[in-house]
Every structure is written in C-alpha cells, then in structure tokens.
Structure 1
Amino acid sequence: MKPARVAVVLKGYPRLSETFIAQELLALERRGLPLEIWSLRRPTDRARHPMHTQIQAPVAYLPEYLRDAPLRVLAGLVAALRRPRFPALLTLFARDFRRDPTASRIRRLGQALVLARELPADVAHLHVHFLHTPASVARYAALLTGRGWSFSAHAKDIWTTPDWDLREKLTDAVWGVTCTRDGLARLDHLAPGRTLLAYHGLDLSRFPAPPATRAPRDGSDPAAPLRLLCVGRLVAKKGHDDLIDAVAALPASLHWRLDLIGNGETRRALEAQVEARGLSARVSFRGSLAQPDVIAAMREADLFVLPTKPAPGGDRDGLPNVLMEAASQALPILATGFAGTPEFLTDGVHGVLVPPGEPAALAAALERLAGEPALRRRFGEAARARLVQDFSEEAAIDLIAGRLRASAGLGAAASASEQELSACAS
C-alpha cells in the first residue's frame, strides 16, 4: 500500500516572490513527507528559483476560471452529488455566499469540486498556504471528502480577509501556523489558541558566505556611487513610492544608484514617478529575478532598503524573507518599523528602522548611513548574527513536519519543537 500523502494547496505555483513556500516544501520533502501540490493558478513568472527544480512533488492545476474547464467542473459536480457530505457543503457555501455574494466565491466552490474529485485516494490531509481564497477551496474540498485540513497564514490573507471568514476557518481547521507575532495577535483575537507561531527562517546551506569585505563607498565619489538595493513585488505595501521620494530628497553632493528588483501592478506608476523626479539615470528597474541573481545583487550592494507600509486596502507584509536573505550576506538594512520587521531587526542594533510612510525620515536615514560605512558594516554583521542564532528554519519545519505527519497518520507530532514555538508566541 502506498503511504499516505499530503496535498498542499497554493494560490499559484511556482512564484518567484514566494521563496518561503518553496523553501518549506523542499525542507518537508527532505524530512520524508510525501507531498503533492495543487495550485489555483498557473505560473506567470518566466524564471524559476533553483529550489523549484529540486522539489519532487507532482503539481496539478485547478481551473483558474470555471469557464475554461467546464467538463472538469461538471464532473466534479456529478461526483459531489454522490457524496454524503454534499448537503453539508451546500449549507456552508450558502452561508458564505450570503455574506460574500461574489463570482470569486462561486469560483472557489467550483475549484473545490474539481479538487475533491481529482484528489488521489492516498491523500490523507490538506494543507493550504494563505487563509483567503486558497483556504476556501481547501476547506470546501476537505468537508466534501471527509479529510482534515490545516493552514499556514502569512500577510495579506490575515489583514484583508473579513473577520467572520477568518474566525470560521480558524475554528474549522485542525491546526494552523503563522509567521509573525503581529499576525498571530490578530488570529488569536478572533480564535484564541488555534494558531501557532512558526517563523519561516532561512536555510543558510543554500546561500554563500557573505563577502569578506565591502567597498567603503560613502557617495562622495561620482565614479563610485553608493549602491542601494530594494527587492520586492512592485505593490503598494512595499513602499517603493516612499523610497523614490526619499532618494529624490538626498543632497546633490551625494552620489548613488538604486536597483529595484521585482515586478507588479505599480511598476508603470513608479517609472513615471522616477521620470518626473529626474532620476531615470540613477534608478534601474530590473524586473523579477531568480534567487541566485538576487543574492548576487545583494553581494554587490552597499545598503538594502525596504520601506514597507500599510496598503490602502489594508494589505500589509508579514516578515519579508528578503530581509533575512540580505542579512545572510551581511548587507546592512534600512527598513520601516512595521508589521513583522521589528521581530527580526532591532533599530540601532541590527539595522535602522524608520516610521512607515515617512519619506523624509527615510531620506535622513539614507543620508546618515551613506556617510558611515563602518556603521553599515556593524549593522550587517549584527543582522547576520541575529539570523544565524534565532532564525534558522529548523524549528519551524520540525513543527510543521510533525503536525503534518500526525494529521496524515504518518507518525507523531514533533512535540518538543511545538512546545518551544508555543513558548515563543506567549
């Protein structure tokens, strides 16, 4: 008999911006977890991280739009009609639809019907990343098939999903984790004790040692400008517009260059902002890059800048993995003291944190750090030490692997890691 498997439900796979998910999948496989991946969307990124080629789990794609695969949806519906739990699913869906009467809600039901029909019999448990739409699909499919489901909550899903939806999913799931104390506080407010803290951490074996030295550039030499780097999707919550305003406010005597790695919905607006500020010769939009290229850019940079802030719709970051990646290269960090970032970096110890949404404060910090290469070096070394000591991926992966094993009937949970992480959350 084949061993039981765990189906991991994702919104899209693979995605360059979700290195934390790829890292987790690879680590779980290396611990012997038999996985398969079910994605609500097909990939849109042209490149892939090396981790994606190392992950062995088979990948299946649900119909992103029901009209694109009517026969799969119809087959899912016919199969569902024969299941004894179908009336319970209809009751749950009707209750959800009354509060969220959208096409998206109908689409999630259709995807769940397809998933329920096409899941292999040896799949014993569903685990979903993100508590918004992917969790709706996983929850409906789990109810229909009589399986349990669990979740990993991250950022946007925590802060933009309605309270009623979060509360009911938290109560319904067998267990769940989230990656910041900031997010944990919101989830515990809605459903106390249903979620554990599990920082993503970083698998340092995948990264080179930091550069032995960095040039002490201070922006005084036009032939050797200060090299600034920002990595993140071009979306409102990353604060790129504040960064552009900040560099525009730097004194003319300070020579600098800024590389922006990432793509997204705000790119055209940001390009227009750069042009309007007369910064086109200094700011480079490099698009989405695979992780080795991102790390290479970090090794060449003098300062990493990530000014995250709340987006207009309430979206916000968790603890951005790029901060830990920058720390892996002892690259000094200037960020905002917002969301999960202060859980990793202490202002004045591991880097510099400024208030979110304040370009003037960001500009002042940039100017100060530009003129103090030795201070930048100390911050970079301190951030790396913090990463190595407190943000290894081991504890979180041990917890998640143990929970998945128990849920799929593959073995006992990793109680020691769970107790350790629970203590951290309290």
Structure 2
Amino acid sequence: MKKIALVLKGYPRLSETFIAQEIRALELRGFDITLVSLRHPTDTSTHPIHQQIEADVLYLPEYLHVEPLRVLKACFHVVKRYSLTKVVKQFIQDLKRDTSRGRVRRFGQSLVLAAEMPEGIEQMYAHFLHTPASVTRYAALINDLPWSCSAHAKDIWTSEKWDLAEKLTELQWLSTCTAANHEYLQSLAEDPSKVHLVYHGLDFTRFQHVNRVSRVDVNGRSADNPVKIISVGRAVPKKGYDDLLNALAQLPKDLHWHLTHIGGGEILKRLQKQAADLGIDKYIDWQGAQPQLTVLEAYRESDLFVLASKIVADGDRDGLPNVLMEAQSQSVCCLATDISGIPELIDSGKNGILVESNNVEQLASALADLLRDGEKRERLGVEGQKQLHRRFDVKIGIDQLEKLFNNID
C-alpha cells in the first residue's frame, strides 16, 4: 500500500468534485492518502463523496502570521533534521522573479509540511501546478521525497513559463486533462514523456443514468411550459456568463425559456444586475452553490445545458469542465463553446453543439434553434450519454494514475 501526501489548495470544495472523485477512487485501489490543504474550507456544505473519503487532512497555516509559533517550530525541526541549502537557493531564485507575499507564504507552508509530514509517506502529489505544486516542490527539496502533479486550467495558462518548465524538470510525472494542455506542457518540458494525458472522466456509479420523461414536444411556444435551461459553474469571467445573458436577451420575445444557474462566484451579483438591466431576470433562478445530489436532480429536470466558456485577459480558461460530462450523463443536450478540451468531449452536431467563444450572435442563434427543436435536443442528449460512457469512464483515468504512482510503463 503506497503512502501518498496529496496537496490541495483547499479541501473540501464543492467546485472540485473531480478531485474528490479521484481521491476516493485511489483509496479504493489501495493507496493510503493523507490530504494536505493550504486553506481551510469555505463552503458550507459538502458532497456525499466527501463523507466517503477516509483520508486524514493536514491543514497548513493559511497565513503565516496567524500561526507564528507553528511556523517557528517547523523551522527549528527542519534545520535540525535536513539540509536547507537546495531549498533556500531555489526560494531566493524564485523570489527574485516573483516578489509577491504569496511566494513567501508558499515557502513558509512548505517548511510546515516538511516538518509535519506523516511517517511513511513515499510520494507527494499536488493538484494544480501553481500554488500547491510550489509548496510541494519546496517540501520535496527539503525532505528529498519524489513528487508529481496533476495540472488543469488556470494553473497552467496563468503561470509563468519559467515556473512551469522548472517544475516539469524536477517532478517525476505530470498528468493533465486536455490535449491542448498536454501539447503545451510537453513543449515546455525537457523530457516530454513526463507529461501524460489523463481525462478525469466520470464515476457512473455516482452519476447513474435515469430515464427522463420525454419533453420533445416542448418547443418554447408556451409560456406555461418553457424550455428548461441549466448552467452549472462558478460565476467567474472565464465561464462566459455575461455572453450567455446577452445571448438570452437577444432571443425572440415569443420564445419561452427559464434558466437555472447553480454556482457561487465572485461576479455573481454583477451578473444578477446585468440580467436585471437586460430585462430577463424574471426568467432566471440563481441557486448559488449546491451539493451534488441537488445538482444531479437539477440536470434531470432540465432540457438543455449551456456553458459559454472563454479565454480571459490573463489567459485563464476552462480545461474540460466536468459539469458538461455530468449533464451528458443524464442525457441532457449540451451547448458549449469550442475552446480548450471541450471539443474533445463534444463533436458538434453529433453529441452536442459547439459555437465560437465570445460570439454572442452565434450563441443566441444556437440557443433559439435548440429551444425550438425538442427532437434535436433529445437526439443529441442521448448520443452524448452514449459516447460519454464509451470514452470518459473514470476507471480509465484511474488505471493510468495507478500505473504512474507504481512506476509501471
């Protein structure tokens, strides 16, 4: 049974079900996992899978000044036990290129992690290539443990190339969840074979398909029976909710719809004001962050899933959003944009519809078409569910990770 310290930015998080899914799947494969969280949880509820995870959680000091004695004790411990020459040299080099307080905090957290590392840990593994990987890297330089990483979206596209390249040189292996990520990270790595394409996939025991009542006759003509649209995602710029609201506002007035949005986020109030200014707020139900069972039920009651992801100014973007797979698992027709890994999931016209990102007119046109055509929605939803099961079963990705952790070619 391999003992792994798995480093996360925060745990548990409602928005990171794919990580929780992976943790539990690895536990069921026999891995002994200790979770290391850089932050304390902020969500007020959890998903059922979080209750099934058996791993202990080590919370590092979120801010060094809040727990100064703990940080000081860690410093004394590592100075007595390890040589700090390599890590101090690396930290100073990094600090010259990144003078932020975050850089200092990562170094302090790494000292605590190295000092409080549970006995018997054989490997460290970080989720996200930015902050969690930096803490993991420094700790590895202190206690000389091998480390690996899983990279996703923002952590790749908003990080400096020098930072990514140096981490790729030092880690054992890296997994990433889209072909676009895979190609980019391989281009930065001295040894491209370290970078592996591993789709998160979906655990179909948790997202069991339920036959839904057919709504092919719902075509947006009746105000009493509108087409039910759903979108699940954080209210952040890269999700493109501003574009979605603008597209909905462009729909013909005699086309009846209702949007349910599930998710918290920093620009939620701004989006709600935008909807009010556009005169469409009465057709939208903002539900905030919800536990997985509530989200699953919402998928099953919906006719169309929409996500208008886009690349924002700092380079941040979605990878392959798990919410698209979740919706497809319930045979919900999906309309999304053609960025990052989304075209790896959706073949437009065959198992969903893709439009250009940042193209409100194209999004509005696709919305109008799908709202009017219940048979098309049902056909695309059924085919999406079939292809999802063929290509994106979580077991495939866990098989790959198991081999990587066990150094099996």
Tell me how far apart the structure 2 counterparts of residues 403 and 62 of structure 1 sit (CA, whole Å): 27
Q: From 95, 109, 112, give the equivalent of 1:111.
A: 109
Q: Deviations over 1:238-276 (max 9, x none)?
A: 000000000000000001111110010111110110110
Q: How far 1:80 sits from its partner (Å)?
A: 2.1
Tell me how far apart the structure 1 counterparts of residues 201 and 83 of structure 2 sit (CA, whole Å): 39
Q: Deviations over 1:14-67 (max 9, x none)?
A: 011101100000100011111010000111111101000000000111011001
Question: Secondary structure of 2:194's partner?
Answer: coil
Which amino acid counterpart does residue 396 of structure 2 have in structure 1? A
Of stretches 395-404 and 164-173 in structure 1, the one that deviates more from structure 2 is: 395-404
Partner of 2:24: 26
Partner of 1:311: 312
- List aligned pairs for 1:196-207, cutoff 5 A: 196-207=196-207
Q: Is the 8 A contact 2:320 2:341 kept in 1?
A: yes
- List aligned pairs for 1:348-367, cutoff 5 A: 348-367=349-368
Q: How far 1:208 sits from its partner (Å)?
A: 2.7
Cα RMSD (Å): 1.0
Q: From 153, 175, 178, give the equivalent of 1:177.
A: 175
Q: Is the 8 A contact 1:6 1:404 kept in 2?
A: no
Partner of 1:79: 77
Partner of 1:422: none
Does residue 262 (structure 1) correspond to residue 263 (structure 2)? The answer is yes
- List aligned pairs for 1:373-384, cutoff 5 A: 373-384=374-385
Partner of 1:146: 144
Which amino acid counterpart does residue 294 of structure 2 have in structure 1? D
Q: Is the 8 A contact 2:24 2:53 kept in 1?
A: yes
Q: How far 1:4 sits from its partner (Å)?
A: 4.7
Partner of 2:6: 8
Of stretches 275-284 and 329-338 in structure 1, the one that deviates more from structure 2 is: 275-284
Unpaired stretches in structure 2, ≥5 consecutive residues: none
Q: From 12, 34, 37, give the equivalent of 2:35.
A: 37
Q: Is the 8 A contact 1:210 1:328 kept in 2?
A: no
What is the aligned-residue identity percentage?
Answer: 46
Tell me how far apart the structure 2 counterparts of residues 270 and 28 of structure 1 sit (CA, whole Å): 38
Q: How far 1:393 sits from its partner (Å)?
A: 1.1
Partner of 2:401: 400
Of stretches 319-328 and 191-200 in structure 1, the one that deviates more from structure 2 is: 191-200
TM value normalised by structure 1: 0.94
Q: How far 1:310 sits from its partner (Å)?
A: 0.6
TM value normalised by structure 2: 0.98
Tell me how far apart the structure 1 counterparts of residues 26 and 142 of structure 2 sit (CA, whole Å): 27
Q: How far 1:75 sits from its partner (Å)?
A: 1.0
Tell me how far apart the structure 2 counterparts of residues 311 and 257 of structure 1 sit (CA, whole Å): 27
Partner of 1:223: 224
Tell me how far apart the structure 1 counterparts of residues 298 and 375 of structure 2 sit (CA, whole Å): 20
Across the two proteins, how many residue pairs are aligned to each other?
A: 406
Tell me how far apart the structure 1 counterparts of residues 144 and 119 of structure 2 sit (CA, whole Å): 12
Partner of 2:49: 51
Which amino acid counterpart does residue 20 of structure 1 have in structure 2? F
- List aligned pairs for 1:334-345, cutoff 5 A: 334-345=335-346
Partner of 1:233: 234
Unpaired stretches in structure 1, ≥5 consecutive residues: 407-412, 416-426
Q: Is the 8 A contact 1:227 1:258 kept in 2?
A: yes
Tell me how far apart the structure 2 counterparts of residues 318 and 22 of structure 1 sit (CA, whole Å): 17
- List aligned pairs for 1:268-283, cutoff 5 A: 268-283=269-284
Large movers: runs of 4+ above 4 Å: none
Q: How far 1:110 sits from its partner (Å)?
A: 0.3
Q: How far 1:201 sits from its partner (Å)?
A: 0.5
Q: Deviations over 1:114-173 (max 9, x none)?
A: 000001121111000000011000000011001000000011011001000000001100
Tell me how far apart the structure 2 counterparts of residues 275 and 324 of structure 1 sit (CA, whole Å): 30
Q: Is the 8 A contact 2:82 2:143 kept in 1?
A: no
Partner of 2:87: 89
Tell me how far apart the structure 1 counterparts of residues 210 and 246 of structure 2 sit (CA, whole Å): 30
Question: Secondary structure of 1:143's partner?
Answer: helix
Tell me how far apart the structure 2 counterparts of residues 4 and 178 of structure 1 sit (CA, whole Å): 22
Q: How far 1:401 sits from its partner (Å)?
A: 1.8
